[in-house]
Structure 1
């Protein structure tokens, strides 16, 4: 007789989410490194997202704690990797992500850059390699430098390219950011402290230590195991989407993990053995999470924690989620910061309007406002609800 697959309910997945992703007050971390380890990778397209994702999950967060982890101890590493997205990851995981994902991203980015400078200026591999060596020489002299300072020291970085020629949005930027981005993706340079506040997107650059060279197949299997530890149970499509891999690479990596198959509400999935006997409920908790938060962006299939009816309000046209309010393992609303610093909120789900939920959400709103203080943020990917709340309309 064929043994049936274990079934894991949506209620069990939401209950695990509250503790595994540190959303419940009792589960909160004491260090940024603990948060990054629990979530595997922190979205870093918007610099503020890293700080707010960590702050929502720590007992007593301060920006200085995360700044120390990023720029002093360097226990957290910023990388361009999965889905060509910027992440902050634990230092011990960086070689795994480099071998499994980032190398291929860097190779594609460099190939695209060579194509552009070749077609528009006739430059080839030797020219780009010489420019990259010049950047490393300049950084060795500077220690740390801004993109503008590097552009002044390396003439090749001032080369202009034409983007979207003939279109109304045609632009002619310098290749400075493209070259530096490729070198960072290769692990040859890294982003140092930003200019201005911790919410700034303008970084200094510094030399980087290369990652250990790991076999790609081993690294992919390790990354999927770590993904399932943080986000499991999950489907094959979830893993493929989150990593940005081909279906073949995804299946091959899954086959090398200790995961077992389990039935989820929308089809077969994968779970680590210790995820098969999950509680069906935990004490409900509230959280205000930033745009592109790793929890909100952790799965391709989201119906078990996000009502599809709320997607048009909470996502932009490119599939990026804005700031969200969570209650009892579900997305129940959104928030935004107004120019005067006020945190404006709107609840979308009836379950979040109970006195218990409202009190918990009010507490988290005040905690977020206290963490931000005088800092003002605005997501780079704006959603309909976030924009309306920010503008007070």
Structure 2
């Protein structure tokens, strides 16, 4: 019987840092390099778009937020859309066919109560209406509502979905579905309003697309357990277990021992560095993919980091100070013109070397954000992001 590879925690951290260009920034390569970086991290969470800009640029040598915006809106090597967990992400445009093919195959969340629920036929009607309305158009959600109702019927506009102290029209429960089926992405904002448009995308068949999704996920975040994968994707654990077992049977993935438990890596991908190549200190913004996807959570957020840098057990609600791949503090920045007032709160005293690294990282963060920094080491008073 073959021997199971045992992967030390420090080795997994070192590989994750390297594969996401967090140990050292990758050479800048224009919009193509930004898109490749988004692919390597399995998308940049973009509910807070400025955080996504920082997430991507900090992984590239010399990149700024303007470069990320150009990749998204001018060069279109990135797309802004609903990605894993139904949350807004920046994804490589070239990867959209397999992303949509995979995400549209993931079982959705529990249906809304009967009075608000749409039938599968109604969902298909709404997706077709969205596709038609957004072809060669950029529409706000209100404009899209009018277009969908005109193409389907008054039922699609019934205000039955509780949301943010108001009620949304029935059709909006299919918004993520439309994105996952490849007929909707975000367009440029129109003033303060988001717009949507239709991408040039034909989703891949589900089987090959899920193969690619798992390969990329394990390359970035492996070793990972079935539970890790299911949580990252917001998929039912039983469905994730069947998928991964099928991939194991086809010898696309293999089992290793990690954190005293069985975990998965891509087949043959069992080379791990012994330790990080050098001391690594980073300031990661809200919802950075590294902390959202990284597990085991108790090892990534050890000791006081568990209570200080998590919000109800959820990662990403605080920007974090990362030292050698482990959360070691929180930080916050407030902008006034070009001045960036950055407060960093380490959870243990910093030695002289780490203080110098923090100062350099704060300067680099300000350069990415196209401002000038004033660094304070002290208590962060801002609460978690919702």
Match among 77, 83, 86 for residue 84 of structure 1: 86
| Aligned position for 1:205 | 196
| Aligned position for 1:15 | 14
**Offset of residue 192 of structure 1:** 0.7
Match among 325, 333, 340 for residue 337 of structure 1: 333
Structure with the larger strand share:
2
| Aligned position for 1:96 | 98
For residues 320 and 25 of structure 1, the distance between their equivalents in structure 2, rounded to whole angstroms, comes to 23
How many positions carry a matched residue from both structures?
362
What is the 5 A alignment of 1:149-168?
149-151=143-145, 156=154, 159-161=158-160, 163=162
For residues 93 and 217 of structure 1, the distance between their equivalents in structure 2, rounded to whole angstroms, comes to 15
For residues 67 and 12 of structure 2, the distance between their equivalents in structure 1, rounded to whole angstroms, comes to 31
CA shift in 2, pair 1:319/1:256, >3 Å:
farther
Match among 53, 56, 63 for residue 55 of structure 2: 53
* Stretches of structure 2 lacking an aligned partner (at least 5 in a row): 373-378
For residues 7 and 311 of structure 1, the distance between their equivalents in structure 2, rounded to whole angstroms, comes to 26
TM-score relative to the length of structure 2: 0.80
For residues 48 and 276 of structure 1, the distance between their equivalents in structure 2, rounded to whole angstroms, comes to 35
For residues 132 and 95 of structure 2, the distance between their equivalents in structure 1, rounded to whole angstroms, comes to 28
| Aligned position for 1:371 | 368
For residues 125 and 281 of structure 1, the distance between their equivalents in structure 2, rounded to whole angstroms, comes to 49
CA RMSD of aligned residues (A): 3.4
For residues 293 and 389 of structure 1, the distance between their equivalents in structure 2, rounded to whole angstroms, comes to 14
Indicate the larger mover: 327-336 or 339-348: 339-348
| Aligned position for 1:145 | 139
For residues 248 and 88 of structure 1, the distance between their equivalents in structure 2, rounded to whole angstroms, comes to 28
| Aligned position for 2:46 | 44
| Aligned position for 1:34 | 36
| Aligned position for 2:289 | 294
| Aligned position for 1:183 | 178
For residues 222 and 216 of structure 2, the distance between their equivalents in structure 1, rounded to whole angstroms, comes to 9
CA shift in 2, pair 1:208/1:224, >3 Å:
same
Structure with the larger helix share:
1
For residues 98 and 274 of structure 1, the distance between their equivalents in structure 2, rounded to whole angstroms, comes to 25
Is the contact made by 2:322 and 2:329 (CA closer than 8 Å) also made in structure 1? yes
TM-score relative to the length of structure 1: 0.78
CA shift in 2, pair 1:367/1:136, >3 Å:
same
SS at match of 2:331: strand
CA shift in 2, pair 1:12/1:190, >3 Å:
same
For residues 238 and 389 of structure 1, the distance between their equivalents in structure 2, rounded to whole angstroms, comes to 23
Is the contact made by 2:224 and 2:265 (CA closer than 8 Å) also made in structure 1? yes
For residues 55 and 298 of structure 1, the distance between their equivalents in structure 2, rounded to whole angstroms, comes to 19
**Offset of residue 186 of structure 1:** 2.7
